[in-house]
Amino acid sequence: MEQGFRCGTVVIAGRPNVGKSTLLNALVGQKLSIVTPKAQTTRHRIQGIVTEPQFQMILVDTPGAGAPAGSRLSHVMSREAAAGVAAADAALLIVAAPRWTAEDDAVLRQLKSSGCPIVLAVNKIDRVRPRTRLLPLLERAAEKHAFAAVVPISAERRENLDRLVAAVVELLPQGPPVYPVEQVTDRTERFLAAEALREQLMLALSDELPYGIAVEIERFEATPDGRTEIDAIIWVERVGQRKIVIGANGARLKAIGQATRLALNEMFGRRVHLKTWVKVREGWTDDDQLLRRLGHDAS
């Protein structure tokens, strides 16, 4: 470890669909957090670990908004997000160019209450032409808070990420690394498999199915020939939703399963055999027992 090594936790915060998960994946260099056009794609706190000779940066992607209002799931997600902010050494606020919204204000207020230094990342600048259109947003941001740094970026195109990392690392305390050099997340392959299936469900179902859908991995086992066998339950809240997921003659569920298997083959570097079942549990978003099985702290 080099002298002056820095290590700390950085919470990634922002309103839905500003690119938090895309940024996490880009910084870590592999896909950890699922990405879809829908709000509330991220339901769990996910840590991505970036280790270089001079620093270890532990990035925390926080759950977004969008669960049924007043549900236990919504409460648990809000609590997980707040816990991520409270434990951070620094915060990375993501806003999407070219505008600042009332939702951005709300996230900034939460971060300011934590007292930790904040770096502002203005994302999606690749969609702004000419770049001079960014100036009003940058000027408005400067009036909102004394940010430690303001960095325009494109997470999708990896533009300006080195500058962003440098600004964040300056805010981390000096100390030894917490995780081994080769570790990139605190999450298991079992968790990543469930998220990969949920991602394909959200992409395939578009607006046909509300957020009452979840994935539970029942079995995750290695086989003697080097494959991984996975049994997964897709939970929905109503019988009609089950029919939507399965599709005519099972075609939709088959396509979702195939897409998930391909994604997992690439992610794990080995063949995956996936079996899925769609089951109905009314009101699962208020079921503490099931929420715990899905990996939420529903205590």
State the pLDDT at residue 73: 62
Rounded percentage of the chain residues whose pLDDT exceeds 70: 86
Q: How far apart are CA 42 and CA 199, in angstroms?
A: 10
For range 208-235, the mean pLDDT: 89
For range 97-111, the mean pLDDT: 92
Secondary structure class of 189 (helix, strand, coil): helix
Q: Does residue 65 register a pLDDT over 50?
A: no
State the pLDDT at residue 81: 61
State the pLDDT at residue 3: 76
Out of 1.10.3720.10, 3.30.300.20, 3.40.30.10, 3.40.50.1700, the CATH code matching 189-293 is 3.30.300.20
pTM of the shown model: 0.82
Q: What confidence tens digit (pLDDT) does each residue in 247-295 have?
A: 999 999 999 999 999 999 999 999 999 999 999 988 877 878 888 887 7
Q: What confidence tens digit (pLDDT) does each residue in 158-215 have?
A: 999 999 999 999 999 999 999 999 999 988 999 999 999 999 998 888 766 656 788 9
Are the folds of 6-169 and 189-293 the same? no
Q: What confidence tens digit (pLDDT) does each residue in 115-149 have?
A: 999 999 999 999 999 988 999 999 999 999 999 99
CA angle 132, 138, 143 (to 5 degrees): 145
Q: Where are the domains of the chain?
A: 6-169, 189-293
Beta bridge partners of 214: 235
CATH number given to 6-169:
3.40.50.300
Q: What is the mean pLDDT of the chain?
A: 88
Exposure class string for 148-160: b at 16+ Cβ within 10 A, else e = bbbbbbbbbeebb
